[in-house]
Amino acid sequence: MTVYDADFWERHYGTLDPTWGTAPNPAVSATVPRLRLPAGRALELGAGHGGDALWLAGRGWSVTALDVAQTAVDRVAHRAAALGLADRVRAARRDLTVDPVPPGPFDLVLGSFFYVPARETVWRRAADAVAPGGVLLIVDHGSVAPWAWDPSAHRPPTPEELAESLELGPQWLPEILESPKRDATGPGGRRAEVVDTIVAMRRQHQG
């Protein structure tokens, strides 16, 4: 059985085309404008090659982009510098299963296809870093693509199930729970329709 630990991700990025994942995920670029957040401070968990972080920085956000793979972190920093965004992107290596989440506060904490063991625990810790009025945004797989690493994987949770599993408490309200479909291109140019899961939870100001 594959263990998705730091060594796995380091090997993965070592063989991955450095341009892969440098564009924002469609669910992120479509959802963030709907959150009506002024460009502020953002934290991305499992930023990979930084497509989402760099897109946010290009729109005026100050982004902390964390990933367990040093290769990915170095590439994000390099790309941010090449795009003239170095002052808005702080890329750093963190193993978020053990390392603390930066305290923030952040106006937006996001993760796209961020898979770690016991991830609800990591999300809950990350939620603590969201400022009142801010948003925790999770983009996940809502279907199992034909090219998925584990095509026998169980049915992914619905947005409602995912939101409930976070157990964030009464200070949080679900704002967007959606499952949009999109055409995706997998390895070797294979195309398929896939479903994204979008969960946007807003932290309420205390009354």
Ligand X SMILES: C[S@@+](CC[C@H](N)C(=O)[O-])C[C@H]1O[C@@H](n2cnc3c(N)ncnc32)[C@H](O)[C@@H]1O
- Per rule CB under 6 A, is residue 112 in the interface with ligand X? yes
- Per rule CB under 6 A, is residue 22 in the interface with ligand X? no
Closest distance of CB 206 from ligand X, Å: 30
- Per rule CB under 6 A, is residue 97 in the interface with ligand X? yes
Alpha-carbon distance of 199 to 140, in angstroms, equals 8
- Per rule CB under 6 A, is residue 89 in the interface with ligand X? no
Nearest Cα residue to 102 out of 112, 92, 89: 92
Q: Which residue among 32, 54, 65, 72 contacts ligand X (CB under 6 A)?
A: 72
- Per rule CB under 6 A, is residue 70 in the interface with ligand X? no
Nearest Cα residue to 111 out of 64, 178, 76: 64
- Per rule CB under 6 A, is residue 46 in the interface with ligand X? yes
- Distances in whole angstroms, Cα of residue 26 to Cα of each of 55, 57, 135, 180, 197: 11, 16, 18, 10, 12
- Per rule CB under 6 A, is residue 165 in the interface with ligand X? no
The residue range among 101-109, 110-118, 164-172, 190-198 that interacts with ligand X, by the rule CB under 6 A, is 110-118
Q: Which residue among 25, 31, 64, 197 contacts ligand X (CB under 6 A)?
A: 25
Nearest Cα residue to 166 out of 107, 110, 198, 119: 119
- Residues of this chain that bind ligand X (CB under 6 A): 9, 21, 25, 46-48, 51, 66-69, 72, 94-97, 112-116
